[in-house]
């Protein structure tokens, strides 16, 4: 595009070259030099392009805004050289020389695309999440970026919500651990290092609780559930020092988050003590008018600033209308100064005042993007994210000499879908599909698309049946393509889309061994597959190394060890079906003559429960052991240990899961809550002891009058392989009464794995 910022259009600027960048030694002194317009400019984030047309808006008019100090940040920009020139204009041609922040949604990889976040949560391995975020930061920073809008830490208990794909699923504890891992991976140990970027935990509030699973819809959440479930991963991110948060689009109890001073200024900043950069979501400040809480753009600007929202993403409400709000109410000036100070401090922590060009090394960009090491890490992450849902008769793993394989399903050859949503700079040509990998690994494969997830065309089904009938076994790729999940991708039905169910039924009727490879970004209601398929692998959307990871798993080179981060319902009408529900005064009973908390037409249990995941081997659990029978509420701790043995013939991973229950309290407590987990690799016959150390804080509840309370009494502990596969139970007693500090699910449980000498 003529007149836009591009590498060919600029003078070369050496990395580390001196500039007119402002001296960061005294942020307050810099603030004193700023005009009102320059202060407001720091609160403005503008589009440098579109997600598929980066840098396309950076023409002469935009550069003039930078020179006048009217912009603090850009999104939808990338590239070491073009962003170096844009930064040069900011630091050498503006009055105060304040550097810009460059940002992008780098959610599960920059160019090296990893599994979607829900899939990585299925690894139950925070180290995998750290590694992903570290590589994403390395590549993104090499491309000139300072800031990502990730991790998304919204708890999602309704899989109809399309953005469940972007988070860690239904559980606050697992979600908290994945949130911390990604913040640490993105930000590293030193934000001033040239290969780190600031994390942007989102979407602050209860965005994942949207009514009916409809994106952007309001949420009606009780205070206890808000504190114990939806806010817990955000608190964990704060404890991990996330440098930024993004507000949610939706309203909670009628108050839009972007204008919610009680939630943002009072709780997040004053009570939690968090001092970072708070950004609105896309045009969310402007949308305060559509929510019906602001009568004008200046009203919207005032509400957002009063709520302590520091930066306005792309709506230009702060840019065009905040000044009018300040003229009407000069008491807003101190709030403006606070916001500017936080933004400048973030830029200082990144080291941009010391060296504004350190993120703009084109040689490093070329060297690190999509490196062999990064691809290898993406393959490992993909393998660790696969969940074995069913394996009737040990159909899997397939024998290496399997005679003739019919590979059916359009998704098996869909490279674009494996990139998932928010693919940053991922490219379809980088993806190795299931078809490509299987044909490379096995000499006798016949492929037929059969049916597409986005089409009602059934004309390909006869050819798929013919391919199956002339083969020895069927590998069938089913599910959703990338465009079925993500932002604004809510569904009213969780059944297989398109004519895929018809395809499945036809193939099941052939009587051939049938392995289903289930792809997509959410749990689906698949009772017919659970009943009739011989084996089911949940493979999600696995990134650029999807095909090799799936094929390695099919043939047993990778023994699947993933577990579900969200329950699979039997039907859409069953949702939400989260594992940690409250007990009923009339517990479910299969006897339909009794009035209990059940359905008339099906079991109340999920099809596949939270934490479920099989292996090609078996694991035996010993009896759980406690190091004490009671702890004090005002600071006690205990350790629970269990021996886990691989009792099968293959090496494999087991995710040992620790759950708790408070059976008698001042408020009804969930039937179980996750409080620890550890993924352990075991050779055949090997035993390891897994120990979890918990503090009294992890048994706190949000009290009837508000605030965290640790109540005296018995606590039950359960250890097992899934939320519905408990292998051992024990209990202890809390003595006295105490006050918890933060959400129990946000507190990291200390774990230890040791050999037992066997």
For the segment 647-663, what is each residue's pLDDT rounded down to a tens digit? 999 999 999 999 999 99
Indicate if the pLDDT at residue 304 is higher than 90.
yes
φ, ψ of residue 477 in degrees (nearest 5) = -90, 120
- Predicted local distance difference test score (pLDDT) of residue 401: 87
Threshold 0.85, pTM exceeds: yes
Please report which confidence band the pLDDT of residue 10 belongs to, taking 50, 70 and 90 as the band edges.
Answer: very low
For the chain, the straight-line distance linking the first and the last C-alpha, in angstroms and rounded, comes to 68
CA–CA gap between residue 640 and residue 650 (Å, rounded):
27
- Predicted local distance difference test score (pLDDT) of residue 24: 57
Q: Report helix, strand or coil for 457.
A: coil
Indicate if the pLDDT at residue 720 is higher than 80.
yes
- Predicted local distance difference test score (pLDDT) of residue 11: 34
Give percent above pLDDT 70 in the chain: 96
- Predicted local distance difference test score (pLDDT) of residue 19: 42
φ, ψ of residue 625 in degrees (nearest 5) = -125, 135
- Predicted local distance difference test score (pLDDT) of residue 23: 57
Please report which confidence band the pLDDT of residue 596 belongs to, taking 50, 70 and 90 as the band edges.
Answer: confident
Indicate if the pLDDT at residue 7 is higher than 60.
no
- Predicted local distance difference test score (pLDDT) of residue 672: 98
Indicate if the pLDDT at residue 68 is higher than 90.
yes
For the segment 490-509, what is each residue's pLDDT rounded down to a tens digit? 999 999 999 999 999 999 99
Q: Which tokens hold the place of 419?
A: 């990139």
Name the catalytic one among 105, 125, 171, 281.
Answer: 281
- Predicted local distance difference test score (pLDDT) of residue 4: 36
Q: Which tokens hold the place of 705?
A: 């009058």
pLDDT (mean) for 36-42: 98
Indicate if the pLDDT at residue 293 is higher than 70.
yes
- Predicted local distance difference test score (pLDDT) of residue 598: 87
Please report which confidence band the pLDDT of residue 25 belongs to, taking 50, 70 and 90 as the band edges.
Answer: low
Indicate if the pLDDT at residue 689 is higher than 70.
yes
Q: Report helix, strand or coil for 466.
A: helix
CA–CA gap between residue 94 and residue 107 (Å, rounded):
32
For the segment 377-434, what is each residue's pLDDT rounded down to a tens digit? 999 999 999 999 999 999 999 998 889 999 999 999 999 999 998 999 999 999 999 9
Task: Choose among 540, 542, 502: nearest CA to 524.
Answer: 540
Please report which confidence band the pLDDT of residue 14 belongs to, taking 50, 70 and 90 as the band edges.
Answer: very low
Neighbour tally for 49: CB within 10 Å: 19
Cβ atoms of residues 556 and 595 within 8 Å: no
Average pLDDT score, the chain? 95
Q: List the alpha helices (DSSP H) in 34-159.
A: 36-42, 60-67, 80-93, 117-122, 126-142
Q: Which residues contact 373 (CB under 8 A, 6 or more apart)?
A: none
- Predicted local distance difference test score (pLDDT) of residue 2: 35
Indicate if the pLDDT at residue 1 is higher than 80.
no
- Predicted local distance difference test score (pLDDT) of residue 277: 98
Give percent above pLDDT 90 in the chain: 93
CA–CA gap between residue 342 and residue 301 (Å, rounded):
18
Q: Report helix, strand or coil for 386.
A: coil
- Predicted local distance difference test score (pLDDT) of residue 589: 82
Which letter does DSSP use for residue 460 in this model?
T
- Predicted local distance difference test score (pLDDT) of residue 757: 55
For the segment 166-209, what is each residue's pLDDT rounded down to a tens digit? 999 999 999 999 999 999 999 999 999 999 999 999 999 999 99
Indicate if the pLDDT at residue 3 is higher than 70.
no
- Predicted local distance difference test score (pLDDT) of residue 594: 85
pLDDT (mean) for 86-102: 98
Looking up tokens 């030193």 gives 190
For the segment 511-523, what is each residue's pLDDT rounded down to a tens digit? 999 999 999 999 9
- Predicted local distance difference test score (pLDDT) of residue 590: 77
pLDDT (mean) for 685-712: 97
- Predicted local distance difference test score (pLDDT) of residue 402: 84
Using a 10 angstrom Cβ sphere, with 0-12 exposed, 13-18 middle and 19 or more buried, the burial of residue 257 is: buried
For the segment 232-290, what is each residue's pLDDT rounded down to a tens digit? 999 999 999 999 999 999 999 999 999 999 999 999 999 999 999 999 999 999 999 99
Cβ atoms of residues 143 and 471 within 8 Å: no
Please report which confidence band the pLDDT of residue 104 belongs to, taking 50, 70 and 90 as the band edges.
Answer: very high
- Predicted local distance difference test score (pLDDT) of residue 21: 53
Indicate if the pLDDT at residue 346 is higher than 70.
yes
CA count, 13 A, side-chain hemisphere, 658: 29
Cβ atoms of residues 191 and 351 within 8 Å: yes
Long-range contacts of 440-448, Cβ-Cβ distance < 8 Å, separation of 24 or more = 441/551, 441/555, 442/402, 442/405, 444/403, 444/404, 444/405, 445/404, 445/405, 445/406, 445/407, 446/404, 446/405, 446/406, 446/407, 446/470, 446/471, 447/407, 447/408, 447/412, 447/413, 448/406, 448/407, 448/408
- Predicted local distance difference test score (pLDDT) of residue 591: 78
The answer to whether residue 643 is catalytic is: no
Cβ atoms of residues 123 and 164 within 8 Å: no
Indicate if the pLDDT at residue 17 is higher than 60.
no
Task: Choose among 411, 727, 431, 379: nearest CA to 557.
Answer: 379
CA–CA gap between residue 525 and residue 152 (Å, rounded):
24
Q: Which tokens hold the place of 587?
A: 């517990």
pLDDT (mean) for 91-115: 98
For the segment 723-749, what is each residue's pLDDT rounded down to a tens digit? 999 999 999 999 999 999 999 999 999
Neighbour tally for 365: CB within 10 Å: 20
Give yes or no for a cis peptide into 357 (omega within 30° of 0).
no
């Amino acid at each position: 595009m003529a007149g836009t910022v591009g590498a060919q259009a600029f003078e070369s600027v050496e990395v580390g070259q001196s500039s007119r960048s402002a001296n960061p030694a005294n942020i307050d002194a810099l603030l004193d030099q700023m005009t009102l317009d320059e202060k407001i400019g720091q609160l403005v984030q503008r589009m440098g392009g579109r997600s598929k047309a980066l840098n396309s808006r950076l023409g002469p008019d935009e550069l003039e805004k930078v020179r006048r100090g009217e912009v603090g940040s850009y999104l939808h920009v990338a590239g070491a050289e073009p962003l170096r020139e844009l930064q040069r204009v900011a630091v050498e041609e503006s009055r105060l020389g304040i550097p810009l922040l460059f940002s992008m949604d780098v959610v599960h990889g920059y160019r090296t695309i990893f599994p979607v976040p829900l899939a990585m949560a299925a690894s139950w391995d925070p180290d995998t999440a750290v590694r992903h975020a570290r590589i994403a930061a390395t590549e993104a920073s090499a491309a000139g970026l300072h800031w990502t809008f990730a991790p998304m830490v919204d708890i999602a208990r309704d899989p109809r919500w399309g953005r469940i794909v972007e988070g860690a699923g239904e559980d606050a504890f697992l979600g908290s651990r994945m949130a911390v891992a990604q913040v640490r991976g993105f930000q590293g140990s030193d934000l001033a290092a040239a290969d780190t970027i600031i994390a942007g935990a989102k979407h602050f509030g209860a965005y994942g609780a949207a009514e009916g699973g409809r994106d952007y819809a309001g949420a009606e959440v009780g205070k206890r559930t808000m504190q114990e479930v939806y806010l817990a991963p955000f608190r964990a991110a704060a404890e991990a020092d996330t440098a930024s948060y993004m507000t949610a689009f939706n309203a909670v109890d009628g108050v839009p988050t972007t204008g919610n001073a009680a939630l943002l200024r009072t709780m997040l900043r004053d009570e939690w003590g968090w001092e970072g950069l708070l950004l609105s979501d896309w045009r969310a400040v402007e949308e305060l008018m559509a929510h019906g809480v602001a009568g004008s753009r200046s009203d919207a600007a005032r509400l957002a600033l009063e709520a302590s929202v520091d930066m306005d993403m792309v709506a230009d409400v702060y840019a065009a209308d905040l000044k009018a709000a300040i003229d009407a109410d000069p008491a807003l000036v101190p709030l403006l100064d606070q916001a500017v100070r936080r933004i400048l401090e973030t830029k200082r922590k990144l080291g941009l005042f010391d060296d504004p060009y350190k993120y703009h090394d084109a040689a490093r960009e070329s060297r690190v993007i999509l490196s062999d090491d990064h691809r290898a890490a993406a393959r490992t992450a993909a393998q660790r994210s696969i969940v074995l849902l069913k394996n009737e008769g040990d159909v899997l793993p397939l024998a290496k000499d399997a005679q003739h394989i019919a590979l059916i399903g359009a998704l098996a050859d869909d490279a674009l879908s494996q990139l998932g949503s928010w693919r940053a700079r991922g490219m379809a040509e980088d993806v190795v599909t299931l078809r490509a990998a299987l044909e490379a690994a096995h000499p006798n494969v016949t492929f037929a698309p059969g049916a597409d997830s986005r089409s009602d065309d059934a004309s390909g089904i006869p050819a798929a049946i013919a391919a199956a009938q002339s083969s020895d076994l069927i590998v069938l790729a089913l599910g959703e393509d990338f465009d079925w999940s993500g932002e604004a991708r809510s569904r009213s039905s969780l059944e297989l889309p398109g004519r895929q169910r018809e395809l499945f039924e036809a193939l099941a009727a052939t009587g051939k061994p049938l392995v289903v490879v289930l792809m997509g970004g959410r749990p689906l209601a698949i009772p017919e597959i659970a009943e009739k398929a011989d084996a089911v692998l949940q493979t999600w959307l696995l990134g650029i190394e999807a095909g090799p990871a799936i094929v390695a798993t099919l043939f047993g080179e990778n023994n699947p060890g993933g577990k579900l981060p969200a329950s699979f319902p039997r039907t859409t009408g069953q949702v939400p079906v989260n594992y940690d529900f409250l007990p009923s005064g009339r517990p479910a009973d299969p006897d339909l003559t009794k009035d209990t908390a059940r359905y008339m037409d099906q079991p109340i249990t999920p099809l596949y429960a939270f934490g479920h995941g099989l292996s090609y081997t078996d694991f035996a659990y010993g009896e759980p052991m406690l190091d004490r029978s009671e702890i004090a509420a005002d600071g006690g701790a205990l350790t629970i240990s269990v021996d886990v043995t691989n009792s099968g013939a293959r090496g494999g991973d087991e995710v040992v899961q620790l759950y708790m229950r408070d059976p008698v309290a001042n408020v009804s407590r969930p039937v179980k809550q996750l409080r620890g987990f550890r993924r352990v690799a075991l050779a055949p016959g090997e035993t390891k002891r897994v120990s979890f150390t918990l503090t009294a804080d992890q048994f706190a509840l949000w009290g009837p009058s508000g605030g965290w309370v640790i109540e005296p009494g018995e606590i039950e502990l359960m250890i097992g392989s899934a939320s519905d596969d408990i292998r051992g139970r024990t209990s202890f007693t809390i003595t006295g009464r105490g006050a918890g500090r933060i959400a129990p699910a946000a507190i990291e449980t200390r774990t230890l794995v040791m050999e037992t000498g066997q």
